[in-house]
Amino acid sequence: MGTYVDKSVIKSLPIYNDSKLDHEVIQNVLCNPILLPRIIRIVTNWNIPTYLVTKGITDAIRPRLTNKISNEDVIELENKLHSLMNSNDYGEALNVGVEFLLFVKGDTMYYSRSSNKSSFENIHEEKKIQHKEFCFALCDVYYGNDVVSTDHKYNIIEGFVQLVVDKK
């Protein structure tokens, strides 16, 4: 798992020059896809059916959406994510090393999947979910208080802090 963020975007944020920059402030920025676009990278390290990857993501997002949108909308978003990730363009078999890229920018998540290292080039306009609450929930899964990987979250926060420290 990894996160890619454009350093120039971080440097343009008002908090970049804040002398009281702390982990909570950085976490709030990381949870806001409007302030900070990013690519979330997930790489499989075992053979697994695509629907299990999709289920893992939707199971993590569902509780974050439940009080914000209707249950019907949650189901519709889950189905859309499942449809994107399981489209016939990719096939069903997932081998070790397949990467999923979730490019979250504002109220839109663009999706790409590849078994090679160049999947950044495969992010297309038509493979997307446009829904503000979904994008905020997705960011919360990786950078909020109850995350899928605390190591990932703290590595991103420390990288953010280091970028601020290095500017001096």
pLDDT tens digit sequence for 116-141? 555 555 566 678 999 999 999 999 99
Model pLDDT, residue 124: 61
Distance from C-alpha of 105 to C-alpha of 149, rounded to nearest angstrom: 21
pTM as predicted: 0.86
Q: What is the pLDDT of residue 116?
A: 55
Please write the tens of the pLDDT for every residue from 7-53: 888 888 887 777 667 888 899 999 999 999 999 988 877 777 777 88
Residues 114 and 122: beta-carbon distance below 8 Å? yes
Q: What is the mean pLDDT of the chain?
A: 83
pLDDT band at 108 (very low <50, low <70, confident <90, very high): very high
Under 8 Å between Cβ of 10 and 163:
yes
Helix (H) or strand (E) holding 28: helix 23-30
Domains and CATH numbers, the chain: 2-166 (3.50.70)
Q: Which residues contact 102 (CB under 8 A, 6 or more apart)?
A: 39, 40, 41, 42, 109, 110, 111, 138
